[in-house]
A and B are shown apart, each in its own frame.
Chain A
């Protein structure tokens, strides 16, 4: 059996690739962001993003460390159902498509998902929501920073801390320079790189090993991976689907895009991005099933993707994977940095500390926030306290509990603050309990179910009669809400 401690690429080749793409991202960030002076330009690209860029940014952002690193891990652990279950993450994008249109209609001047919750449910629900959203954002940022370090280390031998630091520094750098325009523009380039890389790797993998060999080896050595009735995988299926929905429904990453798209673009962009994204985890996960056929040792499940790709394709494959995953991680990190920083500035700084802040002050605060988030993420990534999937799924309990408060809040007048707060708090607690009592593969499911029950019960116990026009009062200059 082959070992896997020796990196495929020479570290200097790795440094060269990192340096080349880092320079490219920073230059593009500077170029696209050179004329952004207004706050709306800097944080929402002037609210004029068109369909092509809209599809690319939604798809590229959703292809993250989750897809490129954790999808192979889940395929290795859960088999074919794991692959399929992971691809159901696309349902989140598809279901958010109609919501994006409604958000743009109801809140033409909105900035964040926090704006919606504050205006719709009041301050208590808003603060609970912010806590969940910021915890999730940090978890996502950390999981991607860690993924960058793990991947670069596995492929090039560059120490984890160096790789992780480089990827964080570059993303902070070009997001700072170009704001949301840079994020959207680089996402387009990164989406092309990701799609091309994934397709190429899949074609080469199947050509080099063959489907028959992969199937026979899995059936002999890891039979449960092919079991259509594998219990944990069955439990995982809807958990992952609801986790994906929860991530997208609540996160300001997706709301900020809904606000930034031109009117009429959001629904189409999210629908097409979902359809384009769905096959990616299947392709990425598939290569993990080649482990038995290759007789390669996997020292840790979260390293299986790059290890197998590099093993199958040699140095060329390693270069390809490095470029592709660097693009995937960058496209998500920059989006998250931009979206979380405006959440902190709009919902934290302006609404809690300095309500009179002008556009210039808010823009400067956004820059500080991006840098601060980068530093905090680095500090949390440095210890590498959990594996990627564990860190990722830990947040599932929180985000899934926001599905019903968000969806009901957008469509039902009767949805009310008590139901939203109870749904988010009790859903999170129940989801966390199930995470530890049963497994990561039911945490989001339990969180969503408990939250749904709370919201539905509250519709009958204390229905509200919400005036939707309240939501259009979220312009930066004034706040007449709650």
Chain B
């Protein structure tokens, strides 16, 4: 999606070129090879690859930053989709309970949500001419979405599947504790530093031999 939006925006040719490369890299990053430590590292590795050997250091840096910006904004088809799929999701595993659905369909559509792949108990979640639907606050589970034309009921592309799997609570509490530790340490630094501000304002203390500490 980033490449499409950027092209439509009609920026400069250089910017377009940078973005095309960055988008390609970010697509690679979303599908890292088996064993890749993380998407970002894969992007980084791509930039350092001999394929980009002719690029100047500054250009690489720009590409790196652009790719990093573009990566999380991209939309991927669900694992169940094919090249003709029009309904897309920004993630197939939502670890925070929210995700974004987007489609590119002419006219009014109906969007259905179902807890099962056969859509036996599907619910209509949206009908209208919008081109997206933001989902949030969902509990753990698997959700399936299907899009159809409101005019004739014809299915538009393949359904998508999103798994909501929140981070484990223990992990979240560990992060919370780490954050609290950094915050308290910073606060103490400022409070104690400010209390001693007058003493700190002068020159560095000297040793008895006259040298500076």
Contacts and interface: CB of A to CB of B under 8 A. Distances in A.
Contacts of B180: 238
A145 B31 CA distance: 31
A98 B196 CA distance: 12
Nearest to A75: B136
Contacts of A238: 175-176, 178-180, 182-183
B39 A234 contact: no
B207 to A, nearest CB: 10
Contacts of A412: 189, 193
Interface in B131-168: 131-134, 136-139, 166-168
Interface stretch (A20-28, A115-123, A187-195, A441-449): A441-449
Nearest to B194: A98
A294 interface: no
Given A106-B201, A224-B97, A234-B176, A95 B69 contact: no
Interface stretch (A44-52, A297-305, A321-329, A347-355): A297-305
Interface string B175-197: 11011111101110110111011
A314 interface: no
Contacts of A242: 179, 182-183
A436 B39 contact: yes
Interface size bucket, B side? 35 or more
A257 to B, nearest CB: 18
B5 A384 contact: yes
Which of A3, A223, A299 lies at the interface centre, i.e. has the most chain B CB atoms within 10 A of its CB?
A299
B6 interface: yes
Main secondary structure of the interface of B (DSSP, over half): helix
Contact of A411 (B65, B175, B185, B189): B189
B200 interface: yes
B189 to A, nearest CB: 5
A383 B73 CA distance: 12
A340 to B, nearest CB: 17
Interface residues of A, number: 79
B126 A232 contact: no
A76 B134 contact: yes
Contacts of B166: 224, 230-232
A392 B140 CA distance: 27
A466 interface: yes
Given A79-B137, A95-B186, A242-B182, A465 B131 contact: no
A231 B126 CA distance: 28
Interface string A256-298: 0000000000000000000000000000000000000000011
CB-based closest 9 A-B pairs: A238-B179, A222-B137, A411-B193, A3-B128, A232-B96, A436-B40, A231-B172, A225-B137, A299-B132
Interface of A: 1-5, 76-79, 95, 98-99, 102, 105-106, 135, 161, 218, 221-226, 229-235, 237-239, 241-242, 245, 297-301, 304, 379, 382-387, 390-391, 394, 403-404, 407-408, 410-413, 432-433, 435-437, 439-442, 445, 448-449, 452, 465-469
13 contacts: A77-B136, A95-B186, A235-B171, A235-B176, A238-B175, A238-B176, A238-B183, A241-B179, A242-B179, A297-B133, A299-B134, A394-B72, A436-B40
